[in-house]
Amino acid sequence: MPQHTANQPRRRKLLRLLALSASTWGISAPVFSPAFAQAAPASKAPEVLRIGYQKSAVNLVILRQQGALEKRFPNTRVSWVEFPAGPQLLEALAVGSLEFGLTGDAPPVFAQAAGKELVYVGAEPPKPDSSAILVLRESPLKTLADLKGKKVALQKGSSAHYLLVRAVEKAGLQWSDITPIYLTPADARAAFERQSVDAWAIWDPFYSATQLAIQARALATGRGLSSNNSFYLASLPFATQHGDTVVALLAELTRADKFAQESRPQAIKLIADFSGLDAGVVSLFLQRRPASPVAPLNASTRADQQKVADAFFKLGLIPKAVQVADIVWSAPAVHVASAVTAKTKP
């Protein structure tokens, strides 16, 4: 039987899966046509792929621990670099030290406002329950309005920054009514525990770890305040030259998420082994995290992210207004088709 004929069932199955994902995320289905899959040659994978990630990056952590990308791209030297938060990661991406990475909603806005050359290539669904404004168990603070005149720790330019902006707004306060204390997560936890600050805006797994360790109380979570979207970003040269690799990365990340959902005990062990976090912390972290397949940004996600950008500009926290859509990467049909062809080759 001719090789291309033998591969048709596998191609058709993968194309159906891609089309379903496209429909779910509002992507035009014709981009995944079988004609493209058969005709477009896969471009060469990059010689080097440097990936930035954080402890919260479940899909990336699973891929790292499984060695999945090293298997998918055997001729590519894949390296992994851990960061404490998104702003530091995107700084490395912007100066050419990384090709690809994951952050929350605020870091790309600050990076775009600073003129950094990077592009949004993918997104995960919202995770509003995975971030919170914490207070100590015995704290007298009961409502968001009680933050007036208080010191709140947070990582500047992180998703927690936007969470706090929204919390202050919802409480009917002005940004000037609080005293933001800009600290990395590790330093913020230390300040929080010694009561040098009154509250702490933070995300998982730091949220879960602190909650379990000292019974910290959530004054509010992201629900009703922030979607807490997660975004995959790439350097502009990487996305431009290796579009099919980007599409393949999104597919591998979605596969990793399926593993996290369907093989929870194994996923907990992989993440705990990597992070050094207690399995109970990882379990709680994953319980708050919904299914998180990865796909290009749809209209709803772009609009949600534009609200983040507009909020920071309104408060004067970024130097200029930005249009999120200006740096949203669109995968050309040839790249999607090439990734399908590469994946289905025997």
Kindly write down the DSSP assignment for every residue of 185-229, as one continuous string: HHHHHHHHHTTSSSEEEEETTHHHHHHHHH--EEEEESTTT----
Q: Does domain 128-221 have CATH number 3.40.190.10?
A: yes
If you compute the radius of gyration of the chain from its CA atoms, what whole number of angstroms results? 21
Instruction: Give the residue from 14, 257, 244, 238 showing the smallest Cα distance to 124.
Output: 257
Tell me 148's DSSP state: T
Question: Hey, which residues does 50 pair with through a beta bridge?
Answer: 79
The predicted-structure confidence for 235-285, as pLDDT tens digits, reads as follows: 999 999 999 999 999 999 999 999 999 999 999 999 999 989 999 999 999
Among 6-15, 112-121, 199-208, name the one with the lowest average pLDDT.
6-15
The predicted-structure confidence for 298-340, as pLDDT tens digits, reads as follows: 999 999 999 999 999 999 999 999 999 999 998 765 344 334 4
Q: Is 315 exposed, middle or buried (0-12, 13-18, 19+ CB in 10 A)?
A: middle
Instruction: Give the residue from 224, 244, 226 showing the smallest Cα distance to 234.
Output: 244
Query: Does 128-221 match 3-125+232-344 at the fold level?
Result: yes
Maximum separation of any 2 CA atoms in the chain, in Å: 75
Instruction: Give the residue from 92, 81, 87, 95 showing the smallest Cα distance to 111.
Output: 87
Domain boundaries, the chain: 3-125+232-344, 128-221
CA 164 – CA 154 distance, rounded (Å): 8
Strand ordering across the sheet containing 77-82: 77-82, 48-53, 100-103, 230-235, 118-124
Q: Sorting pLDDT into bands at 50, 70 and 90, what band is 296?
A: very high
0.85 exceeded by pTM: no
Q: What is the CATH number of domain 3-125+232-344?
A: 3.40.190.10
